[in-house]
Amino acid sequence: MTSDDTVMNVTFNEFVPPGGTYANGALVWNTPHEFTIDFTSHRSPIQDGDAQDVLVVARMKIPTSAMFRIVQAMSANIDRYERQHGRITPRPPKETP
């Protein structure tokens, strides 16, 4: 270590619910400076013509400069998951009458 190097001790005080927070949906939008992701939980099954009962369980505001790394990490994790467990097949969209 040189005399120009600085050592930083950082302590994280965090609370993570023991079981995590369940989300089975997400809404994403952006401004020129940040992305916003609302993680949602659909409380009831989707029924045709019915209003959907959706609860926002977490809202993340992420600077645009961080999104590229997040997308890379998600992509790498999906690749690893699919190698271990098989391909993820999204549900096809419901046909509308």
Residues with Cβ < 8 Å from 27, sequence gap 6 or more?
A: 37, 38, 40
Sheet holding 54-63, edge to edge: 25-30, 34-42, 54-63
Instruction: In whole angstroms, give the CA distance from residue 39 to residue 37.
Output: 6
CA distances to 15, 33, 51, 75, 82 from 38, rounded to whole Å, are 19, 17, 19, 19, 25
pLDDT over 80 at 48, yes or no: no
CB 42 within 8 A of CB 29: no
Which pLDDT score, from 0 to 100, does residue 15 have?
75
CB 24 within 8 A of CB 43: no
Mean pLDDT score, 84-88: 96
Which pLDDT score, from 0 to 100, does residue 44 have?
67
Mean pLDDT score, 63-85: 96
pLDDT over 90 at 70, yes or no: yes
pTM of the model: 0.66
The most confident of the ranges 5-9, 16-20, 44-48, 92-96 is: 16-20
Which pLDDT score, from 0 to 100, does residue 27 have?
94
Q: Where are the domains of the chain?
A: 25-85
Q: What percent of the chain has pLDDT over 90?
A: 52
Burial of 54 (0-12, 13-18, 19+ CB in 10 A): middle
